[in-house]
Copies of this chain bind each other. A is one copy, B any other.
């Protein structure tokens, strides 16, 4: 297999996670240590770029991502910058013929997302989203079961992503609360994850009826400051959604979920069975099968807690039957990208997938403004 050389653009919290995950891939999949390398890193300031390079252990660093794109020893870039630069960087990377791995959400809005999807298609580069939650083994298992018809006709579904990061009104402003940087609030940041999971498992959304709200509308401009600034993004978003089949869903997204740390879960109800996943128990998928025998005085029906630990395709490491964590699913998501490049195969989740999520989020925002259902263009 050809070696893959990554250029990392952005080295904040998530950039560091991606870097560590690239480093872990050889061990998980039994590859030579040097089969994947981070060949360079770009940040916006030369000091942070230099520090990043030392931590990563790579020779090249720059405060101009274009310098990274200009290098021949870079096969692919990994975009870990704030949302408002994804579009510009992705277009430049596509023009430079680099494969692209991009953090979620894809873009600031549908228009940007469309032009990005078109650009990578035109440039014939591989382009993949970081929708890392897809790669919990329990999700992979749920996808298999759904494709095999396990739940039958889908009646309804529910998704949720709650965090409690912003429940204190003393918490000051940050870039995550500024629309010009993020494009959206909880809906974009948390919602993109749970919406992608539901889309991955259930397919296109046909329409949404959503209510977004900003429960805390002003925050201190800095810790201990008495001056405040307005928050111009949502901190809570509740959606009702329709699939083309008519199945009805509900999705709860909140940064104000008091008590939540990373409360992501979903349920899918069908006429033959049901599925449940909760990130609090990442190693298990709960399944219910109406076909289980039911006999007098109590049958054997009931939700079954299926072990779903790391048994990824291609994985060499032994199955440690342990809780898969954040780092492991990032490694798997990135490995899929590497394999798509090596095998010249389609990426998944692709930028087209990222575009559909952008369309759902855009429809949710418009629905909230008008108080009515808004239809969503198909991804197909």
Q: A137-B297, A305-B305 are in contact. List 17 more A-B contacts (CB 8 A).
A: A20-B28, A23-B23, A33-B56, A155-B215, A156-B254, A238-B250, A257-B274, A258-B273, A259-B288, A259-B302, A279-B323, A285-B298, A298-B311, A299-B306, A304-B304, A325-B327, A327-B328
| CB atoms of A282 and B55 under 8 A apart | no
Q: Does A167 contact B (CB under 8 A)?
A: yes
Chain A residues with a Cβ under 8 A of chain B: 13, 16-17, 19-20, 23-24, 26-28, 30-34, 54-58, 137, 140-141, 144, 151, 155-156, 158, 167-169, 209, 211, 213, 215, 236, 238, 240, 246, 248, 250, 252, 254, 256-259, 261-262, 269-271, 273-274, 279-285, 287-290, 292, 296-309, 311, 313, 317-318, 320-328, 371-373
Interface centre among A13, A281, A299, A300 (most CB of B within 10 A): A300
Known: A213-B248, A261-B321, A325-B322. A302 touches B304 (CB 8 A): yes
Contact partners of A252 in chain B: CB under 8 A:
158, 250
Residue of B nearest to A151 (CB): B258
- Of B55, B238, B305, B328, which one neighbours A33 at CB under 8 angstroms? B55
Write 21 A-B pairs (CB below 8 A) sorted by A numbering. Answer: A13-B317, A16-B317, A16-B318, A20-B27, A33-B56, A137-B298, A151-B258, A155-B215, A155-B258, A209-B240, A236-B248, A250-B250, A258-B273, A261-B321, A262-B321, A298-B306, A300-B304, A301-B306, A302-B307, A303-B305, A323-B324
| CB atoms of B322 and A262 under 8 A apart | yes
| CB atoms of B27 and A320 under 8 A apart | no
Contact partners of A24 in chain B: CB under 8 A:
20, 23-24, 327
Contact partners of A292 in chain B: CB under 8 A:
304
Contact partners of A58 in chain B: CB under 8 A:
33
Tell me, in angstroms, the Cα distance from A175 to B313 when the chains sit together.
27
* Closest beta carbon of chain B to A142's beta carbon, Å: 10
* Closest beta carbon of chain B to A86's beta carbon, Å: 20
Tell me, in angstroms, the Cα distance from A296 to B281 when the chains sit together.
21
| CB atoms of B248 and A307 under 8 A apart | no
